[in-house]
Copies of this chain bind each other. A is one copy, B any other.
Amino acid sequence: MSDNGIKSENILEKLNWRYATKSYDPAKKISDSDWATLEESLVLAPSSFGLQPYKYIVVTDPETREKLKPAAWGQPQITDASHLVVFAYKKTLTDADIEHYVDRIVEVRGGSREDLADYENVMKSSAQKAVDGGYIEVWNSRQAYIALGFLLQTAALLGIDATPMEGFDPAQFNEILGLTDYSAVAVAALGYRNAEGDWLANLPKVRFPKEELIVRV
């Protein structure tokens, strides 16, 4: 048990309880206080160097959600879930992005900007290497998936259903959401399951055995 009373068995119970919800009850909404916790989990997710090279698009407008639905093969979670988050990674990283982050470090921690010059240069050269090497989009997009993991786990811990989704057309999503410097890479629908209408709700979770997934060296 941790020092604030969170128990292993309760964590695992909730991670077993969660599943990729296929059918939501459109009448059940996530409370404002739970939603604030979920957003805070997104903000607190770690990322490479702490650069947070992404935006979280929280789509509440029903009309926009109706437009997104056909771009996600008509999946009903897009419109029926209480909340929808689109994860969009930044398509590049410029010196200005790094400088903006260094400004934020100074704002939060105080101290002088000069003391961070070496760190700033390391970040700038890593970013430049990723741009030149053609893997900046891969790098940035992976960071968004850590945040997706945080969001899904926090939702489960609070007893809130969620669906991670990759089955959508990023180009159409970007156009509908007006994204240019960022690109949609994953979606999470969140809300409360309609257990009677969801074929998956009561099926056992399928995972490979631990002995197969984990290699011990």
Interface residues of A (CB under 8 A from B): 2-6, 8, 10-16, 18, 20, 33-34, 37, 39-46, 48, 50, 52, 54-61, 64, 104-105, 108-109, 138, 141-143, 145-150, 152-154, 157-159, 164, 166, 177, 185-186, 203-208, 210, 213-217
Contacts and interface: CB of A to CB of B under 8 A. Distances in A.
B216 A58 contact: yes
Contact of A153 (B2, B150, B205): B150
A157 B59 contact: no
25 contacts: A2-B158, A3-B159, A6-B6, A6-B10, A8-B33, A8-B34, A8-B37, A12-B37, A12-B44, A43-B208, A46-B152, A57-B214, A57-B215, A57-B217, A58-B216, A64-B217, A109-B204, A109-B206, A142-B142, A142-B185, A146-B148, A146-B152, A147-B149, A149-B150, A177-B217
A45 B55 CA distance: 23
Given A56-B215, A177-B217, 7 more contacts: A43-B213, A50-B207, A141-B142, A145-B145, A150-B153, A153-B153, A157-B157
A175 to B, nearest CB: 13
Nearest to A40: B12
- Chain B CB count within 10 A is highest, among A3, A108, A159, A217, for A217
Determine the main DSSP class of A at the interface with B.
helix
Nearest to A137: B138
Closest 3 CB pairs of A and B: A149-B149, A145-B145, A8-B37
A8 B158 contact: yes
A153 B158 contact: no
A95 to B, nearest CB: 17
Contacts of A146: 145-146, 148-149, 152, 164
Nearest to A148: B146
A197 to B, nearest CB: 19
Nearest to A177: B217
Contacts of A6: 6, 10-11, 14, 157-158
Contacts of A3: 159
Given A15-B40, A44-B16, A148-B149, A104 B217 contact: no
